[in-house]
A and B are shown apart, each in its own frame.
Chain A
């Protein structure tokens, strides 16, 4: 079961504290409040304290055969803020997201022009598995591996190391990853239980914990809440906002209210074009483009 007290819009995001390996207390405790934040109101979160440019999408076009999925998109991706990609189905936002850690290369013969840089290095120059550890991804359907909760996280750590590591030695890292995803308190007594027995929301947070265990610089989220109920969604949204100081977060979402709630910057894409990139408040309240205005007007009925 989900925690029944989803931590809701705190006035300021609680300070993120990395775990001391010897002290596996959860990094963040939910601030118990009675109100929930399901209304499409902007979270009263403080504006980003800082932002560091981690990735740079520079005039990127992606073609599948003759079909252009993404056309000349340029975007900054910053640590310290959440970037939401919105737009109707087939607008290229997921393709763009998947190209950020070169996952597009695995599926189809996608051709990419322009450049994507991670800390000023073109990602085509980074060995793909190394890149995918620095830019990890969480998918729409929670996909925990058919292993125990512990092994789901330990898998990432074990595959990173060249030597076989004893279970005990991995414990602090596993606990800390679970804590960063706000899951540790709920599963700390059940680390040996099958991950697939967790609830949908817990499974998704386990997947986020797994993605965080790799200590990435950028976290990609592909509609992470679309398979979840509103309660679990709220928990994950809070988590995402808290994570933005540690990693650059890019989220693809169909849920405009969600984008409004959690994003600092929003990019609206339409048929492969980046129509508008702006701060969430401006893009939703005073869009400069006609198309954006038409699209986001759906967000407010």
Chain B
């Protein structure tokens, strides 16, 4: 090896050395991530291969399918893979979508208030509090949901008449779509508020001042100039919150009702009181059946689907941000 020409006295950690070290570390981590994805996809592949596109579609009771899948390993009559995930996917869409939409609206208004209207002491007090709320472990929200919200919904909001009307199909106990959406919203909104307030307060003061000096009031200014300029960060925060919502498992397993049921909005408003179970809690619930090869494939297939959705949302977010940056907002 050729001897490198080094200055006699240089920093011990030269820039080149740091570059090599960090580069190696990053390559290692990216490699690890790729390996993780490959492992998940390979393990989940048999489930997709057996079901084809009907994996994503409706058909039958998912809970029955899951138990048939895990028991088929012991019967010796060949593995069963039949799995139609639609009720789980639908539940994920309803709960995560509902929470993200609700969270986006609330978080936006709270952030606008905190950055533009709240007195300084209130803003200085609330912003650390919001940051703390964003880091509260989700199981605590789950506990509060089970102890407070679920009984309240079960005892006070759902009428006996409603319970009776669906008695043959499902029992309404308070573990419901609406409880899951509310608790999930409370969980992800602080994350969004914390990102949105940072974004809104870093909007160039010149833009806001320019608008105010043209006789536009503060509300219209923050809404039309501030929020508009902060849109890329708002999209980024929303994608982050969505990712957290989709991946949320423990809390949702506690509150959603954990029944593979697909609440149908066509049945009227009662659907918000019906139980369901999103994808991520399904993995938690069935994790003890991993020793059964077909069950393992099914769970990894769910994981593949979650990973893929997460990647798609990130991609969609990036494309949206790029489109919004056309006018140089960021």
Query: Mask for A113-132, Cβ within 8 A of B = 1, else 0?
Result: 00000000000000011111
Q: Are B328 and A129 in contact (CB under 8 A)?
A: no
Q: Are B212 and A145 in contact (CB under 8 A)?
A: no
User: Shortest Cβ distance from B219 into chain A, in angstroms?
Assistant: 11
**A:170-214 near B, CB below 8 Å:** 194-197, 207, 210-211, 214
A148 at the interface (CB under 8 A from B): yes
B318 at the interface (CB under 8 A from A): no
Q: Are B207 and A129 in contact (CB under 8 A)?
A: no
Count the B residues whose beta carbon is within 8 Å of the partner chain — how many? 22
On chain B, the residues within 8 Å of A156 by CB distance are 214, 216
Q: Are A159 and B206 in contact (CB under 8 A)?
A: no
Q: Are B209 and A139 in contact (CB under 8 A)?
A: yes
On chain A, the residues within 8 Å of B207 by CB distance are 143, 145-146
User: Shortest Cβ distance from A121 into chain B, in angstroms?
Assistant: 16
Query: Mask for B141-168, Cβ within 8 A of A = 1, else 0?
Result: 0000000000000000000000000000
Q: Are B206 and A141 in contact (CB under 8 A)?
A: yes
Q: Are A194 and B206 in contact (CB under 8 A)?
A: no
A101 at the interface (CB under 8 A from B): yes
Q: Are A137 and B220 in contact (CB under 8 A)?
A: no
Q: Are A129 and B204 in contact (CB under 8 A)?
A: no
A103 at the interface (CB under 8 A from B): yes
On chain A, the residues within 8 Å of B220 by CB distance are 159
Q: Are A194 and B214 in contact (CB under 8 A)?
A: no
Cα distance, A64 to B210, chains bound together (Å): 23
User: Shortest Cβ distance from A181 into chain B, in angstroms?
Assistant: 14
Cα distance, A128 to B228, chains bound together (Å): 24
User: Shortest Cβ distance from B235 into chain A, in angstroms?
Assistant: 15
Cα distance, A13 to B289, chains bound together (Å): 88
User: Shortest Cβ distance from A249 into chain B, in angstroms?
Assistant: 15
User: Shortest Cβ distance from B118 into chain A, in angstroms?
Assistant: 15
Interface centre among A130, A139, A143, A214, by most B CB within 10 Å?
A143
On chain B, the residues within 8 Å of A131 by CB distance are 215
Cα distance, A137 to B209, chains bound together (Å): 10
Q: Are B327 and A196 in contact (CB under 8 A)?
A: yes
Q: Are B215 and A194 in contact (CB under 8 A)?
A: no
A129-B215, A133-B215, A159-B224 known; A194-B327 Cβ under 8 A:
yes
Cα distance, A139 to B206, chains bound together (Å): 8
A147-B327, A196-B327 known; A103-B213 Cβ under 8 A:
yes
Contact partner, B212, options A103, A194, A196, Cβ 8 Å: A103
User: Shortest Cβ distance from B132 into chain A, in angstroms?
Assistant: 31
**B:174-220 near A, CB below 8 Å:** 204, 206-207, 209-218, 220
Q: Are A148 and B327 in contact (CB under 8 A)?
A: yes
Q: Are B212 and A106 in contact (CB under 8 A)?
A: yes
On chain A, the residues within 8 Å of B213 by CB distance are 101, 103, 132, 136-137, 139, 211
B229 at the interface (CB under 8 A from A): yes
Contact partner, B328, options A101, A130, A134, A196, Cβ 8 Å: A196
Contact partner, B210, options A133, A145, A148, A160, Cβ 8 Å: A145
Interface centre among A106, A145, A194, by most B CB within 10 Å?
A145
Q: Are B217 and A194 in contact (CB under 8 A)?
A: no
Q: For residue B212, which residue of chain A has the nearest CB?
A: A106
On chain B, the residues within 8 Å of A136 by CB distance are 213-215
A155 at the interface (CB under 8 A from B): yes
On chain A, the residues within 8 Å of B215 by CB distance are 128-134, 136, 159-160, 214
On chain B, the residues within 8 Å of A207 by CB distance are 210
Q: Are B214 and A143 in contact (CB under 8 A)?
A: no
On chain B, the residues within 8 Å of A148 by CB distance are 327
B329 at the interface (CB under 8 A from A): yes
B17 at the interface (CB under 8 A from A): no
On chain B, the residues within 8 Å of A137 by CB distance are 213-214
Q: Are B327 and A146 in contact (CB under 8 A)?
A: yes
On chain B, the residues within 8 Å of A103 by CB distance are 209, 212-213
Q: For residue B330, which residue of chain A has the nearest CB?
A: A146
Q: Are A195 and B327 in contact (CB under 8 A)?
A: yes
On chain B, the residues within 8 Å of A134 by CB distance are 215
Contact partner, A143, options B209, B224, B328, B329, Cβ 8 Å: B209
User: Shortest Cβ distance from A118 into chain B, in angstroms?
Assistant: 13
**B:207-249 near A, CB below 8 Å:** 207, 209-218, 220, 224-225, 228-229
Known: A160-B215, A194-B327. 7 other contacts (CB 8 A): A128-B215, A132-B213, A136-B214, A147-B327, A155-B216, A156-B216, A214-B215
* B contact residues vs A (CB 8 Å cutoff): 204, 206-207, 209-218, 220, 224-225, 228-229, 326-329
Q: List 11 A-B contacts (CB under 8 A).
A: A103-B213, A106-B218, A133-B215, A136-B214, A137-B213, A143-B209, A159-B216, A159-B220, A160-B215, A196-B327, A196-B328
